[in-house]
Amino acid sequence: MKEKLVVIGNGMAGMRTVEELLKIAPDKYDITVFGAEPYGNYNRIMLSPVLTGEKTIEQIMINDLDWYKDNNITLHAGIDKKVVKIDRRNRIVFAEDGTEESYTRLLLATGSNPFIIPLPGHELNGVIAFRDISDVDLMLDAAKNKTHAVVIGGGLLGLEAANGLMLQGMDVTIIHNLDVLMNRQLDGPSAKLLQTELESRGLKFKMSANTTKITSDNEGNVAGIAFDDGVELKADIVVMAVGIRPNIDLAKSAGIHSERGIVVNDTMQTFDPRVYAIGECVQHRGELFGLVAPIWDQAKVCSNHLAGYGIANYRSVATATKLKVTGCDLFSAGDFEGDEDTDDIVFQDPKRGVYKKIVIREDKIIGAVLYGDTVDGSWYFSMMKDGVNVKDIRNTLLFGQVHLGDSGHGEANAAANLPDSAEVCGCNGVCKGDIVKAINEENLYTLEEVRAVTKASASCGSCTGLVEQILVATAGGDYNPTETEKPLCACTTSSHDNVRDAITSQKLKSFSEVSEYLDFMKSEGCHVCRPAINYYLLAAWPGEYEDDMRSRFTNERMHANIQKDNTYTVVPRMLGGMTTPEDLRVIADTADKYEVPMVKVTGGQRIDLVGVSKDNLIPMWKDLTDAGMVSGHAYGKSLRTVKTCIGSQFCRFGTQDSTGLGVRIEEMTWASWTPAKFKIAVSGCPRNCAEATIKDFGVVAVDSGWELYVAGNGGMKVRVSDFLVKVTTDDEAMEYVGAFMQIYREKGHHNERTAPWIERVGLTYIKQEIVEDADKRKAFYDRFIESQKYAQVDPWKKRVEGFDKQSFIPMAEV
C-alpha cells in the first residue's frame, strides 16, 4: 500500500513541493491537499498585475483543478475545508466541515496572514488586506464606484497595491511611518528617486505619519483616516499592507513547536519527524521568509526527503528584491546600509534618475541598491553570493559588466520596452515574444525553466541578463537567483568543487566511484556530468585514469569537429602557425585525394579540411601522420593553437623571436586537456599582431623581455587579458605558461574558460599562487610537465593504428 501524504495549504510552497515530489517519486504517496481558498493553486505574486489589469485570474493559475485529477491528487478546497485540528497521535487531520484524512506524513504549508494594525476602526467595512484573490476582488469592486483609497504601508506590497488602485482610477494616498519608502530595501537617496517617480505618476504620500484612527459613516463603512498631527483624509477603502505574520495557529494547537514561525531543521522537518513544514509559515535557524526564491529551495529539499532520498540540506541564501511596478527599475540585495567597517561605492545621476550603491566589506560585495538602471543587479548579486573578491575590478565595478568587456546586451536594459519581434538570444534565434509567451503559457518562474523551454540564453549565455529582465517584467519577482554552489547538473546536488574535492580527498578513480560516493540520483549521469567528471578524473590521476571515450562529446571521441550535416573537419597542427611547402603539398594532395569540399584557413593560423565523411577520417589521418603531422585538437577542450606573428627573425619592428617562442610553447603544451579550450598567442612587439591580449595566455615582447597576460577571450564576450608579470627569458615564460595552465587545469570548472574563471577566483589569487610564490609556481609547472608525459600521444596516429576502430566503421551493412 502507498503511504499517505497530506498537505495543509494549497499555496505556492505546498504545491511546489508536490510538483518536485512528483518529478522524483511519482508513485510513492497518495496525496491529499487541503486549501482554505476555493481555487486550484495560483501564483500569488501575480496578484499585483491582476490588480493593475495587466493579467486575469485565469492567467495566473499555476495548476487548475484538472492538474490535481491528472496527478491523482485529492483536493479539498474551499473556505469550509480549512483544517482546524491535527490529531498527531492517530495521525488524522480534520477540516472545518468535518472532512478528515489520515496521514503517514504531513506537510504544513499554511503561509502567513497579513498583519492588521489594531487601530480603532480596523474592523470597519472597507478595511482590506492584500493577500489573496478575495482581497483583490474587494479592491477591484471598490475601484468601480468609489474614489478615495488610502494604503497604509510604503513597502513593496503597499506600493504595488497603491499603483494598482491608481491605475484602476482611484485617488490614492500612501501612508508610511518613516520618511524612507521601502525602507527594508532602499536607502534614503534611492527611496527619494522612487517617491518622485511615483508622485509624477499621480500617487500621493504622507510620510512619517502616525495614524490615530479610521473613521466611519453611519453604516459601518470606512469614511476617513485621522492622524496625530490633526490632519484627516477621506477614504472609501483602507488597504493595510504593513507586514505578514506566519500562520502558526494550527501547528501550535497541535503542539508542534513554534516560535515566530513553525520551527524546522535543515531537512524541513518540524519537531515531530512525521510532520514537515515549508514556506512563509516556517522559521529556519531563526529566520522567517517572505519571498519565493528561498521557498523554491526549501521545496527541493523537502521533496527530496519526502521521496526518501534523504540527501539534501536547506541552507538559506541571500535574496534580492525588485518592485513590480512597470517602469520603476529597482534592485536591492543584502546589507545595503553597511557600518563602520564597510565602504560604499556610489554613483548618482539625479537628472537621469539613476542611483547605484554597492556596499563592500573586505573586498567583497555585501549589498547593493540600484535605481533607474538595474541591468547589473544579477551580476552584483551573484558576485555577492559567491563571495567574489572584487579588489581588481573595483575601479570599474559601478559601470557594470559591460565595462569588463561584455559585448553582450549591456545597454539594452529596457527589456520591458523591447518589441516582441526583437531577437533576444542570437545563438538560438529566440525573440522576446517567444519568451513572454512561454513564461505565460507554461508558467515558468526561473531562468533555468525559461532556458529549458525556449533555449534562450542556453548557449553562450550573453543574453542571460536580458532574459532575466524579461522574466521579471513578465512574471514578477526575480525569484530564482542563481544559487551559490550550484549543483553540477540535475543528477546530483554536489557542485563542481564538491566533486573535485571528493575525487582528490577520497581518491575516487572512476565515474561510478564518484557517483556512488556522492549519491548521484542517476547512476549513469548525463551528458553534462559525465564529460565533466571524466575530465576531473583525467586531471587528478594523470597516467592512471583511463580516458572514458563514452563520456566524451563526439568531437573529442572522433578527434574531429562534427558539422551540421554530420560530416567532420580535419585540422592538422601547425606549430606556432608555421608551415612548410612540403606540409602544404601533403595537405593539398590529401584534399585532392579525398575530394574535400572546402579548404579553409582558420582563425587559428592553420588549415581546415571541411566536410569529410566519417569513413574517410582514418585514411586521411594516415596520409597526414605518415608525413609527420599530428592532430590540431581543433575539436577539444584542450590546447588549441599558439598564434604568433613574424617577430624579430624578419619583422623590422620585432624585438623578440615570437615565432621561436610560440613553437616552443606549442611543443610543450599540445594535446593537454583543459577545463575548456585554451588558446595562446605570442607577439614580437607591442604592436601585438598576434592579438595576444585576448587569449587565455598571451605573450607580448618588449625590448627587455616578455610581458605575460592571462585570461583574455575573443568570441562571445570579449575580455581583454590581465597583465600577470614581466619576465626576461624564454625559459621563465615557458614556466609561467605551464604553471598557469596547470592551476587552471586543477581549479577551473569544466566548460569554464579562463575569462569567467578568473572573474570568479580573482587575479590576486592567481598572482599569490604562481607569481609571488616561486616554489608553488615550479610545483604547478612540474605537475603540468608530468601529466603531459601521458597526454602527448597523437590521437590520430593511435586510431590509424587501430584504437577504437569500431567508432569509425559501420557495424553492418544490410
Partner 1 sequence: MSQTIEIGKLTDIPKLGSRVVKTNQGDIAIFRTAEDEVFAMHDKCPHKQGALSQGIVHNNTVTCPLHNWVIGLDDGEAKGHDKGCVKTFEAKLEGGNVILVLDK
Ligand X SMILES: Cc1cc2nc3c(=O)[nH]c(=O)nc-3n(C[C@H](O)[C@H](O)[C@H](O)COP(=O)(O)OP(=O)(O)OC[C@H]3O[C@@H](n4cnc5c(N)ncnc54)[C@H](O)[C@@H]3O)c2cc1C
User: Is the CA virtual torsion 62, 65, 68, 69 positive or negative?
Assistant: negative
Spatial distance between the Cα atoms of 797 and 767, rounded to a whole number of angstroms: 39
3-class DSSP state of 780: helix
312-331: which residues touch ligand X (CB under 6 A)?
324
Among 229, 603, 667, 786, interactor with ligand SRM by CB under 6 A: 603
Phi-psi region of 174 (alpha: psi -120 to 50; beta: other; left: phi over 0): beta
Amino acid identity, position 581:
P
Contacts of 294 (CB under 8 A, 6+ apart): 316, 317, 319
Q: Using CB distances below 5 to 8 A depending on partner kind, what does residue 814 bind out of ligand X, ligand SRM, partner 1, none?
A: partner 1
Residues 325 and 473: their CA atoms lie apart, in Å, by: 9
DSSP letter string, 379-419 = HHHHHHHHT-B-GGGTTTGGG-GGGGT--SSTT---GGGS-
* Contact stretch for partner 1 (CB under 8 A) within 556-564, 581-589, 701-709, 757-765: 556-564
Q: Of 215 and 807, which CB lies nearer to partner 1 in the complex structure? A: 807
Q: Which is nearer to ligand X, 108 or 609 (CB)?
A: 108
- Under a CB-based contact definition with an 8 Å cutoff, are residues 267 and 246 in contact? no
Residue 45, contacted partner among partner 1, ligand SRM, ligand X, none, CB below 5-8 A by kind: ligand X
Using CB under 6 A as the binding criterion, the count of chain residues that bind ligand X stands at 37
Binding map of ligand X across residues 481-520, x = CB under 6 A, - = no contact: ----------------------------------------
Radius of gyration (C-alpha) of the chain in whole angstroms = 31
Contacted by 721, from partner 1, ligand X, ligand SRM, none: CB < 5 to 8 Å by type: none
Q: Which of these ranges, 97-105, 473-481, 504-512, 749-757, lies near ligand X under the rule CB under 6 A?
A: 473-481
- The footprint of ligand SRM on residues 652-691 (CB under 6 A) is 679
Q: CA-to-CA distance for 123 and 134, rounded, in angstroms?
A: 17
810 binds, among ligand SRM, partner 1, ligand X, none (CB under 5 to 8 A by kind): partner 1
Binder among 401, 551, 561, 590 for ligand SRM (CB under 6 A): 561
Give the integer Cα–Cα distance in Å for 669 and 70: 58
Q: Which of 275, 508, 558, 680 binds partner 1 (CB under 8 A)?
A: 558
DSSP 389: B
Q: Does 601 bind partner 1 (CB under 8 A)?
A: no
**Residue 231 Cβ vs partner 1, minimum distance, rounded to whole Å:** 56
Shortest separation between residue 805's beta carbon and ligand SRM, angstroms: 23
726 sits in which H/E element: strand 722-727
Task: Find which of ligand SRM, ligand X, partner 1, none residue 667 binds, CB within 5 to 8 Å per kind.
Answer: none
The nearest distance, CB 553 to partner 1, in angstroms, is: 7
Pick out residues in 734-753 that bind ligand SRM (CB under 6 A). Answer: 753
Could you say which of ligand SRM, ligand X, partner 1, none residue 753 binds, taking C-beta under 5 to 8 angstroms by partner kind? ligand SRM
Indicate which of ligand X, ligand SRM, partner 1, none lies near residue 131 (CB less than 5 to 8 Å, by partner kind).
Answer: ligand X
786 backbone dihedrals φ, ψ, rounded to 5°: -60, -45
Site for ligand X in 90-119 (CB under 6 A): 109-111
For partner 1, which stretch binds (CB under 8 A), given 228-236, 297-305, 310-318, 551-559?
A: 551-559
Residue with cell 567532420: 568
- Residue 355: strand pairing partners: 348, 371
**Amino acid in position 479:** Y
Residue 722 binds what, of ligand X, partner 1, ligand SRM, none (CB under 5 to 8 Å, by partner type)? none
Q: Which of 522, 585, 600, 687 binds partner 1 (CB under 8 A)?
A: 522
- Per-residue cell: 538: 583525467
**Range list of H helices, 455-528:** 464-475, 496-505, 511-517
Q: Judged by CB under 6 A, does residue 240 bind ligand X?
A: no
DSSP conformation class of 797: H
- Applying CB under 6 A, the span of 292-300, 325-333, 431-439, 650-658 interacting with ligand X comes to 292-300
Show the beta-strand stretches assigned E in 110-209.
112-114, 127-128, 148-152, 171-175, 204-206
88 lines the binding site for ligand X (CB under 6 A): no
The sheet with strand 100-102 has its strands ordered as 83-87, 92-95, 100-102
How far is residue 455's CA from residue 461's CA, in Å, rounded to a whole number? Answer: 10
Determine, following the binding rule CB under 6 A, whether residue 477 of this chain makes contact with ligand X. Answer: yes
34 lines the binding site for ligand X (CB under 6 A): yes
Q: Which of 807, 662, 649 is nearest to 734 (CA)?
A: 662
Q: How far is CA 385 from the centre of its chain?
A: 11
With CB under 5 to 8 Å by kind, the binding choice for 558 among partner 1, ligand SRM, ligand X, none is: partner 1
Spell out the alpha helix ranges (H) of 247-351.
249-253, 292-306
Give buried/exposed letters for 682-700 (b at 16+ CB in 10 A, else e): bbbbeebbbbbbbbbbbbb
Bridge partners, 441 (sequence order): none
224 binds ligand X (CB under 6 A): no
Least distance in angstroms from the C-beta of 809 to ligand X: 56
Nearer Cβ to ligand X (36/639): 36
User: Which residue, judged by CB position, is nearest to ligand X in the bound state?
Assistant: 11
153 binds ligand X (CB under 6 A): no
Residue with Cβ nearer partner 1 (453 or 460): 453
Closest approach of Cβ 220 to ligand X, in Å?
26
Helix axes 292-306, 12-24, angle to 10 degrees: 40
Q: Pick one of ligand SRM, ligand X, partner 1, none as the site partner of residue 713 (Cβ within 5 to 8 A by kind).
A: ligand SRM
714 binds ligand SRM (CB under 6 A): yes
What grid cell was written down for 348?
548618482
What phi and psi values does residue 118 have, to the nearest 5 degrees?
A: -75, 55
- What's the min distance (Å) between Cβ of 568 and ligand SRM? 7
Residue among 37, 373, 556, 722 that touches ligand X (CB under 6 A): 37
Q: Applying CB under 8 A, which of residues 221, 326, 484, 554 lies at the interface with partner 1?
A: 554
DSSP state letter for 638: B
How big is the chain, counted in residues?
A: 814
Q: For residue 127, report the phi and psi dihedrals to the nearest 5 degrees.
A: -95, 120
Residues 227 and 209 sit within 8 Å (Cβ to Cβ): yes
262 vs 251: CA distance, rounded Å: 7
Q: Under a CB-based contact definition with an 8 Å cutoff, are residues 323 and 416 in contact?
A: no
**Residue of the chain from 90, 421, 566, 580 that contacts partner 1 (CB under 8 A):** 566
β-strand pairing of 100-102 with 105-108: unpaired
Q: Looking at the DSSP assignment, which residues form a beta bridge with residue 149?
A: 172, 237
Which of ligand X, ligand SRM, partner 1, none is residue 89 near (CB under 5 to 8 Å by kind)? none
DSSP string for residues in 540-573: HSTTTSPP-GGGS-HHHHHTSEE-TTS-EEE-B-
Q: Name the one range near ligand X by CB under 6 A: 41-49, 298-306, 558-566, 637-645.
A: 41-49
Nearer Cβ to partner 1, position 252 or 805? 805
258 lies in the site for ligand X, by CB under 6 A? no
Whether the Cβ atoms of residue 57 and residue 133 lie closer than 8 Å to each other: yes
Provide, rounded to whole angstroms, the least separation between the CB of residue 708 and partner 1: 36
608 is an interface residue for ligand SRM by CB under 6 A: yes
Residues in contact with partner 1 by CB under 8 A are 442, 452-453, 522-527, 530-531, 549-555, 557-558, 562, 564-566, 806-807, 810-814
Residues in contact with ligand X by CB under 6 A are 8-14, 34-37, 44-45, 47-48, 82-83, 109-111, 130-131, 157, 247, 250, 279-281, 290-293, 295, 324, 476-477, 479
Residues in contact with ligand SRM by CB under 6 A are 561, 563, 569, 571, 600, 602-604, 606, 608, 634, 640-641, 643, 679, 694, 713-717, 753
